[in-house]
Amino acid sequence: MDYVLHILVMVCLYSILATSFNLLIGFAGLFALSQAAFYAFGAYATAILSVKLGLAFPLPLTAAILFTAAVGILVALPAIRISGDYLVIVTLALQVIALAVIVNWHGLTGGPDGIRGVAPLHFLGLPLDTPRRFLPVAALAAAAGFLIAWRLAHSPFGRALRAMRENEAGAEAVGKNLLYMKVVVFAFSAGLAAVAGSLYAHYFTYVGADGFTIEQTIYILAMVILGGTGNLWGSVAGAAILVVLPDALQFIHLPVEIADKSRLVIYGVLLMAVLRFRPQGLLAAAAAGGTRGALTPLAVTQGGAGLLDPIAPGEATLSGAKLARAFGGIRAVADLSIALTSGRITGLIGPNGAGKTTAFNLLTGFLAPDEGEVTLRGRPINGLKAHRIVGAGVARSFQDLRLFARMSVLENVLVALPRQSGDRIGQVFFRPFRVAREERANIARAMSVLAFVHLDGKAGETADSLSYAEEKLLSIARLLATGAEVLLFDEPLSGLDPTTLTEILPILRELARSGRTVCIIEHNLDVIKELCDEVCFLDEGRILAIGTPERLMTDPELATRYFK
């Protein structure tokens, strides 16, 4: 019986580890494989504080969480610069280094012998030194850990995390602070793993380095992948399956040595099989996340009013002065000056490689200009990070759309709404009612934005199930949702058939009529003629002519340039 209870304790510990790891890899998309190191730091911090300093619960636990969260933030720093394969390798290396420190720092960690004699937890004077007595604590901690992970994952902050996972530049373009999100999610993931580590230390009253190897990280990874990345219940199920399943094998009486190894073989085979045959995991992630319940038609009706607050037309808004930017000696943009006006649609045309998209990147902070200044209503905004510029009122779309493919249409818009208190982690946990109230209003607002582009009927579908034309509409809706007054569209109409064109053109006109400043890059000159009040002709990184579409398109010199 005790054995079964022991297994259950282990399921609890691993479910904390798996859910916390899932925050990192499943929600934030950061494949940082050093979870066992966080686990180890939690365990060792607890053991050291409890044995060497004689501190009693809950001090070691608290300290372990804080210390490991701080380590997590340190690991977040490389994750800001590198991604993909390199992040995996670097974090594996970090884990090896961490383990080497633990094994070699004899004085503090007991070296290869580990630390013995960690005090068990006590409850009302009763030592929790058997699986039966410990299980309630483990279950409680697992439940608490799960709730924290759940709250984080299914808050507006978690939505922003998933947007970052889907497309980093896309998330930045709707005003999300990637640095802040990465730091927070690493701190939480590491802190939660430390809880599991701390419990481990109290439960076994011993910590040793061989419990926290790379194999442990892969073990936890297998649980997350088996249960489905981005699915917290899946991680619990994955933990339960992978703890219980191999232990069931032990009834075949294999030698301990071989049983341990066969267990790892099973994890590896499962990991490969899932990735090979069912990459979404056994339980697929709920696509629409936590907002599905709110998706009743009722939510659609109200709140649409303030969607396009009128802005006075004819005022100078965004302007760039003498912008220059070179790539490896080639000047993509040289001495480019442009001034946009509210209520007008300005077209950017020019031959291939003229510097149109680079101009957008410079105006929106996605690239820093080598020279020149960008101002919004007279205030300089260059030097600001891209997400700050979105907040200031300048937003852009991408040629390749950069939608958040595995999120619902509604979420794609919701995540772009400005000034969400649910984006701040403190508010998520300490002002839940305010966040929930705001969220209801935001859903209504997002629905009205979707209605504006005629996508409200598809709100609950995932973005990657849309047709290409609908994707284009969604990218417009997302841009609109940022609330920015200056909207830069990079080829919003390319690849669309004439019928869809006639659907989108009025939307763009409506935006200008409401006083938004609209600028579009476009190659289809019919569209430019029909849509734009003013056209800038770019070539060789500078503006060669500004005028009405009619004038520019009948200029023989420009025509020759256009066709070289």
Partner 1 sequence: MSAPLLEVRNLSAAHGKKPCLHGIDLSLMPGELLLVLGHNGAGKTTLMRTIFGLHRPSAGQILYQGRDIVGRRPAENVAAGIAYVPQGHGVFRSLSVRDNLLLGAFVVTDRARLAPRLDVVFGLFPVLKERERQIGGTLSGGQQQMLAIGMALMHEPAAIILDEPSLGLAPNLVERVMETVVGIKTAFSTSIIMVEQNVRLSLPVADRVAVIKTGRKIYDGDPGPLGDKVELMKLF
Partner 2 sequence: MSLFLQLFVNGLIGGAHYALLAVGFGLIFATTRIVHFAYGPIYTIAAYVAWVTAGPLHWPLPLAMLAAAMVAALLGVFSYQFLYRPIEERQGSTLVVLIASLGLFIVLENLTGIVFGTGGQTVAGFEGGIHFIGPVFFTTVNVWQIVSVLILVPVLAVFLRRARPGKAILAMTDNAEMARIVGIDTVKVSMLVFALGSAISAVPATLILLRDGANPSMGFLAVFIAFVAVVVGGIGSLRGAVAGGFALGMIESLGLWQIPTEWQNSISFVVLFLVVLLRPQGLFGAARR
Positions touching partner 1 (CB under 8 A) are 351-353, 466-468, 471, 491, 494-497, 523-525, 553-554, 556, 559-560, 562-564
468 makes contact, choosing from partner 1, partner 2, none, with CB < 5 to 8 Å by partner type, with: partner 1
Residue with smaller CB distance to partner 1, 254 or 553: 553
**Shortest distance, position 159 Cβ to partner 2, whole Å:** 22
Choose the contact partner of 81 out of partner 2, partner 1, none; CB within 5 to 8 A by kind.
partner 2
Decide whether 86 or 123 has the Cβ nearer to partner 2.
86
What span, in angstroms and rounded, lies between the C-alpha atoms of 531 and 492? 12
Which lies closer to partner 1 via its Cβ, residue 445 or residue 472? 472
Q: At what angle do helices 2-22 and 131-153 cross, to 10 degrees?
A: 20
CB of 505 to partner 1, least distance (A): 15
Q: Which is nearer to partner 2, 123 or 327 (CB)?
A: 327
Q: For residue 494, which amino acid is it?
A: S
| 2 contact, one of partner 1, partner 2, none, CB 5-8 Å limit per kind | none
d(CA 508, CA 522): 13
Minimum distance from residue 350 beta carbon to partner 1 (Å): 10
- For partner 1, the closer CB: 85 or 497: 497
**If you write DSSP's letter for every residue of 90-104 in order, what string do you get?**
HHHHHHHHHHHHHHH
Q: Rounded CA gap, 31 and 24, in Å?
A: 7
8's tokens: 């259950």
Sign of the Cα pseudo-torsion (324, 551, 375, 475, in order): negative
The least CB distance from residue 522 to partner 1, in Å, is: 10
Dihedral sign (CA 21, 24, 26, 31) = negative
> Residue 523 binds which entry of partner 1, partner 2, none, with Cβ cut-offs from 5 to 8 Å by kind?
partner 1
The listed partner (partner 2, partner 1, none) that binds 564, CB under 5 to 8 Å by sort, is partner 1
- With CB under 5 to 8 Å by kind, the binding choice for 47 among partner 2, partner 1, none is none
Q: Is 296 or 352 the residue whose CB approaches partner 1 more closely?
A: 352
Of these partners, partner 1, partner 2, none, which one is at the site of residue 553 (CB under 5 to 8 Å by kind)?
partner 1
Which one, 88 or 334, has the nearer CB to partner 2?
Answer: 88
Q: Which is nearer to partner 1, 166 or 439 (CB)?
A: 166
- What per-residue string of b and e applies to 139-176 under the rule 16 or more CB within 10 Å gives b? eebbeebbebbbbbbbbbbbbbbbbbbbbbebbbbbbb
Q: What is the DSSP letter of 545?
A: E
- Tell the smallest beta-carbon distance from residue 176 to partner 1 (Å): 25
Q: How far is CA 365 from CA 128, 145, 327, 369, in A?
A: 56, 38, 16, 9
92 binds, among partner 1, partner 2, none (CB under 5 to 8 A by kind): partner 2
Question: Which of partner 2, partner 1, none interacts with 86 (beta carbon under 5 to 8 A by kind)?
Answer: partner 2
Distance (Å, whole) CA 415 – CA 286: 17
The token pair at 326 is 């070179």
Between 227 and 365, CB nearer to partner 2? 227
Taking the complex as a whole, how short is the minimal distance between the CB of residue 555 and partner 1, in angstroms?
Answer: 8
Nearest to 318 by CA among 397, 395, 401: 395
Q: How far is the CB of 251 from partner 2 (least distance, A)?
A: 18
Least Cβ distance, residue 32 to partner 2 (angstroms)? 12
Closest separation in Å from C-beta 527 to partner 1: 10
Helix pair angle (85-104, 214-227), 10° resolution: 140
Give the number of other CB atoms < 10 A from CB of residue 457.
Answer: 10
Minimum distance from CB of 143 to partner 2 (Å)? Answer: 29
Nearest approach, Cβ of residue 325 and partner 1 (Å):
18
Residues at the site binding partner 2, with contacts judged by CB under 8 A = 31, 33, 78, 81-82, 84-86, 88-90, 92-94, 96-97, 100, 103-104, 214-215, 218, 221-222, 225, 257-258, 261-262, 264-265, 267-272, 275-276, 279
Separation CA 410–CA 398 (nearest Å): 19
Return the one option of partner 1, partner 2, none that residue 433 interacts with (CB less than 5 to 8 A, by type).
none
Q: Which is nearer to partner 1, 340 or 466 (CB)?
A: 466
- d(CA 207, CA 201) in angstroms, rounded, equals 6
CB burial of residue 211 (10 Å; 0-12, 13-18, 19+):
middle
Q: Which is nearer to partner 2, 214 or 544 (CB)?
A: 214
**What's the longest Cα–Cα distance across the chain?**
93
- What is the H or E stretch that residue 207 is in? strand 206-207
Give buried/exposed letters for 312-345 (b at 16+ CB in 10 A, else e): eeeeebbbbbebbbeeeeebbbbebebebbbbbb
Return the one option of partner 2, partner 1, none that residue 282 interacts with (CB less than 5 to 8 A, by type): none
